[in-house]
Structure 1
Amino acid sequence: MTTTTAPADIDRPAPEQLTIVPLRHYGRWIAAIAAVTALVGVAGSLAKNGNLHWEIIGHFLFADLIFDGLVTTLWLTVAAMALGLVLGTLVAVMRLSTNPVLYGMSSLFVWFFRGTPLLVQIIFWGYAAALYKDVLIGIPFTDITFIQVETNSLLTPAIAALLALGLNEAAYASEIVRAGIQSVDIGQTEAAHSLGMRPALTMRRIVLPQAMRVIIPPMGNETINMLKMTALVSIISAHDLMSNIQDVYAQNYQVIPMLVVASIWYLALVTLLSIPQAWLERRYGRGSGHGERVSPLRRMFAGAVTRPARRPKNAKETAL
C-alpha cells in the first residue's frame, strides 16, 4: 500500500502573519458628536440667556423656605411609599386569595384608585369636609358614637396629601407585588407546604424573598415617581417644595427662575434615590446574571484606565 504525503504549504501564510483590522463604527461616532454638539449648544444658550435671571436662582436655591418645602416633600415621599407598599402587599395577597369576597374587594380597590386621576383624589381628600363635616366612629345604623372629630382638624393638608398619595400608590404597588409573587414557581410553595410550613410563613420566608428580584426595579421607579408626584399636592397648599415655590413666584412674578430652582432640587433628589435603587437591584439580582451588569459609564472609565493585554507577535513568543 502506497502512502502519499501532501506537499508542504510553502506559499500559505502563517496564522500569526494575518493582519487583524478592527471594525469601525463611524455611524456611532457621528451620532455621538452630533449629540454632544447639540447638548453643548443648548447648555450655552441657557447659560447666556438673561431672562433666566441666574442671580435670583442662586439667591433662592438655598433659601430657608426651599429647605422647609424639601423636608415636607421627603417625608411625604417616604410615608406615602411605606403606606402604599404595606397596603399594596396586603391587597396583592387578597387578589391571589381563593376567597371571592377578598378577591372582589381588592379588585374593586385597584379598579377605583387606578381608574381616577391622582389630582382628583388629592382634591377630594383636601376638601373632604365639604362631604362630611365630622368624622364619626361608632356602631353603624345607631346613634351610638365613640369618637367624633371635626374633619378639617383631622384632615390637614399634609394628612390629606399623605392619604391621597399612599392609597393611589397602594393600587399600583399591589399589581407589582402580585406580578412578583406569581413569578415564583408554584413548586416552591408546594415544597414548603410539604414540609409543614403554614401559608403565611411560606409567603414570608419562601415566596416574597424570591419575588423581590422582580419587585425591586419597578418599585424603585415608583419611589422616584412618587417624589415627583408630591408636586401635585401644591393644589391643596400642603407646604411641600412646589407649594413654597409657587408662593414665592406669586409675589415676585419670577416664574421661570423659580421653576428652575424646583427642577434643580428634584433632579438632585432623584439622583440620590437612584443610588440605593441600583444597590438593591444588584443585591437581589445576585446569582441570576442580571445583578452582574456594569453601567456604560463604569465600562468607559474602566476601559480608559485599564490597558489591554499585548497580543503576541508570533508563534515563538506564544510558546515562550
Structure 2
Amino acid sequence: MDTSIIINGFPLLIKGAAVTLLITIVSLILGTVLGYFLCLMRMSYNKFLSSISFIYIWIFRGIPLLILLFLFYYAAPFDIKFSAIQAALIALTLNVAAYKAEYIRSGMLAVKKGQIEAAEAIGLTPFQVMVRIRIPQVIRIIIPPYISNATSFLKQTAQVSVITVPDLMMNAKNLYASTYSPVETLGFAAVLYLFMTSLLMLLQAWSEKKLNIAQNNR
C-alpha cells in the first residue's frame, strides 16, 4: 500500500465526503417535510388528495433512483437546465419523500384511536391533537427505522457521481483514474463511508436505548 497516495488524496476525499454529507442531510430534511405532507394527504378523507399521494408514492418508490438522476440532469421538463447538485437534490428529495411518507404513516396509524378520541372529547382541536398527541408518539415510534433508512440512503447517494456531482464516490474515482491504485483510493473511500454510516448506527443505537428507557418509565 502506497500511503503517499492516501496522504495526497486525503483533502480531495474529505471534500467529497463533505458533499456526500451535505446532500444527504439536505435531502433527508426536505424529503421528511414533503413526506409528512404526503402522509397527511394519504390519510385524508378526501379521495382526490389521497389518490394523488398514493400515485406519488407508487411512482417514486418504483422508479430506480439512478433513472431519476438521469431524468432531472439530462432530460428535465420545459427545457430547464439543472446543475448536477441541483438535479441530485431534487431526485434524492423526491425519492426519499416517498419512503418517509410511509414511515410517518405507519407511525400515525400506530397511535391508538382511544387517545385521539379522548383528546377530542376534552375539546382539543385537530391541530392540538396532532401537535400534542400524534407527533410526539410518531417520533418515538419511527426514529429507529428512520435512522436505519437514513444509513442506507447515505450509501445510495454514491449514485449521484454518475451525473458528475463531486461527492466522495466521484472524487475517489477521479483519484483512482489518475493513480490506478484501487486500494488506496476506493478502499479509503470505503473507510470514509463506513465511518459516516457507523456514526448513524451509533445514533440509532443511542436513540433505541433512550426510547427503551422512556418506555420503561411509563
| TM superposition score normalised by structure 1 | 0.64
Q: Please report how far the alpha carbon of residue 226 of structure 1 lies from its aligned counterpart in structure 2 after TM superposition.
A: 1.7
Pairing partner for 2:58 from 111, 134, 141: 111
Secondary structure of 2:215 counterpart: coil
Match of 1:228 among 146, 155, 171: 155
Gaps of 5+ in 2: none
- Is 1:163 matched with 2:90? yes
Is residue 35–residue 97 contact of structure 2 (8 Å, CA) maintained in 1? yes
Specify which of 2, 13, 18 is matched with residue 71 of structure 1: 18
Secondary structure of 1:238's aligned partner: coil
Match of 1:93 in 2: 40
Matched-pair contact (CA < 8 Å) for 1:224–1:270: yes
Distance 2:42 2:2 in 1: 52
Does 1:246 pair with 2:173? yes
Query: Which letter does structure 2 place at the counterpart of 1:59?
Result: I
What is the correspondence of 1:25-36 to structure 2 with a 5 Å cutoff? none
Q: AA paired with 1:230?
A: T
> Counterpart in 1 of 2:105?
178
Query: Hey, what does 2:3 align to over in structure 1?
Result: 55
Answer yes or no: is the 8 Å Cα contact 1:60–1:261 preserved in 2.
no
Q: Is the 8 A contact 1:114 1:168 kept in 2?
A: yes
CA contact (8 A) 1:57 1:260 kept: no
**Are the aligned partners of 1:114 and 1:171 in contact in 2 as well (CA < 8 Å)?**
yes
Q: Any unmatched runs of 5+ in structure 1?
A: 1-52, 134-150, 292-320
- Which has the larger displacement, 201-210 or 276-285? 276-285
Answer yes or no: is 1:288 the counterpart of 2:185: no
Give the Cα separation in 2 of the matches to 1:191 and 1:183: 16
Alignment counterpart, residue 118 of structure 2, candidates 183, 186, 191: 191
1:125 equivalent to 2:52? Answer no
Larger Rg: 1
Task: Give the helix-richer structure, 1 or 2.
Answer: 2
The separation in 2 between residues aligned to 1:57 and 1:219, in whole angstroms, is 37
Deviation at 1:166, TM superposition (A): 1.1
The Cα of 1:56 is off from its aligned counterpart by: 5.2
Moved over 4 A (4+): none
Give the counterpart letter for 2:40 in structure 1. V
1:267 counterpart = 2:194: yes
Structure 2 length normalisation: TM-score?
0.92
Q: How many residues are paired up?
A: 217
Q: Is the CA contact (8 Å cut-off) linking 1:56 and 1:257 kept in structure 2?
A: no
Say whether the 8 Å CA contact 2:6–2:184 is kept in structure 1. Answer: no
**1:276 Cα shift?**
2.5
RMSD: 1.8
Instruction: Report what 1:215 is aligned to.
Output: 142
Residue 110 of structure 1 and its aligned partner are, at CA, apart by 0.2
> CA–CA distance in 1 between the matches of 2:194 and 2:160?
18
Q: CA deviation at 1:258?
A: 1.5
Q: Tell me the amino acid that sits aligned with residue 190 of structure 2.
A: S
Cα distance in 2 between the residues matched to 1:228 and 1:266 = 7
SS of corresponding position for 1:251 = helix
Q: Is this contact kept in 1: 2:6–2:185, CA < 8 A?
A: no
1:38 aligns with: none
Larger RCO of the pair (alpha carbons < 8 Å, separation 6+): 2
Q: Distance in 1 between matches of 2:59 and 2:115?
A: 33
Q: Residues 279 and 174 (structure 1 numbering): CA distance in 2 closer, same or farther, change over 3 Å?
A: same
